[in-house]
């Protein structure tokens, strides 16, 4: 659980980027996410798929679940999510289920994204809730981090990591 703390002069995307960097240092795909409620960061997480042996342990889902624990509620209306990469279909659906108000993401993900690419979940009429979406926030930094990670992976001939996000 992450204790709420107020960070008036520190944009949440910088925190999400720090989480992404830390994830990369753990050998995970470098993606980070932060949940904010009324200017207060209430949860933050980076990818932990390999560490937790959990293919669903994406930064967004971990941050959403942590925020729900902080607020003692399975739904988070009024909360905003900042994430360094366009969410996949799993995380986009979770964002809807958790009733996130606004989604801010960094890099676009044509291969694995589920918001502006692929199934475009928030345009699906069967989804009960869609957040406001703002893509391309701190895009170049978020993109650079991922590019460097995958370049290094290729260099190390880590052939078990597929293309796309963190599938």
Segment contacting a copy of itself by CB under 8 A, of 18-26, 63-71, 131-139, 145-153:
63-71
DSSP H or E segment with residue 53: none
Distance from first CA to last CA of the chain, Å, rounded? 26
How far is Cα 130 from Cα 123, in angstroms, rounded to an integer? Answer: 8
- Check binding of 46 to a copy of itself (CB under 8 A): no
Known catalytic residues? 60
CB crowding 77-91: b at 16 or more within 10 Å, else e:
eebbbbbbbbbbbbb
Comparison of 97 and 150: residue with beta carbon closer to a copy of itself: 97
161 binds a copy of itself (CB under 8 A): no
Torsion angle of C-alpha atoms 74, 78, 81, 82, degrees rounded to 10: -160
The answer to the question of residue 50 lying near a copy of itself (CB under 8 A) is yes
Binding letters toward a copy of itself, positions 111-130, x by CB under 8 A: xxxx--xxx-x--xxxxxx-
Residue 59 as a binder of a copy of itself (CB under 8 A): the answer is no
Closest by CA position to 146, among listed 52, 62, 59: 59
Min dist. Cβ of residue 34 to a copy of itself (A) = 18
Q: Does 56 bind a copy of itself (CB under 8 A)?
A: yes
The strand pairing partners of 46, in sequence order, are: 32
88 binds a copy of itself (CB under 8 A): yes
Coil, strand or helix: which one is 17?
helix
List residues binding a copy of itself (CB under 8 A): 49-50, 52-57, 61, 64-65, 68-69, 72-75, 88-90, 92-94, 96-99, 111-114, 117-119, 121, 124-129, 162, 164, 167
């Amino acid at each position: 659980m992450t204790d709420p703390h107020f960070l008036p002069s520190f944009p949440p995307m910088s925190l999400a980027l720090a989480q992404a960097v830390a994830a990369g240092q753990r050998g995970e795909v470098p993606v980070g996410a932060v949940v904010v409620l009324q200017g207060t960061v209430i949860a933050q997480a980076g990818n932990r798929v390999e560490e937790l042996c959990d293919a669903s342990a994406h930064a967004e889902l971990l941050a959403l679940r942590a925020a729900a624990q902080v607020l003692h509620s399975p739904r988070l209306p009024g909360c905003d999510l900042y994430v360094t990469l366009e969410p996949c279909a799993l995380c986009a659906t979770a964002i809807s289920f958790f009733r996130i108000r606004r989604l801010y993401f960094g890099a676009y993900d044509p291969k694995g994204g589920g918001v502006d690419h692929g199934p475009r979940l928030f345009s699906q009429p069967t989804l009960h809730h869609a957040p406001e979406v703002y893509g391309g926030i701190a895009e170049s930094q978020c993109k650079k981090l991922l590019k460097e990670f995958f370049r290094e992976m290729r260099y190390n001939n880590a052939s078990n990591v597929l293309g796309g996000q963190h599938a």
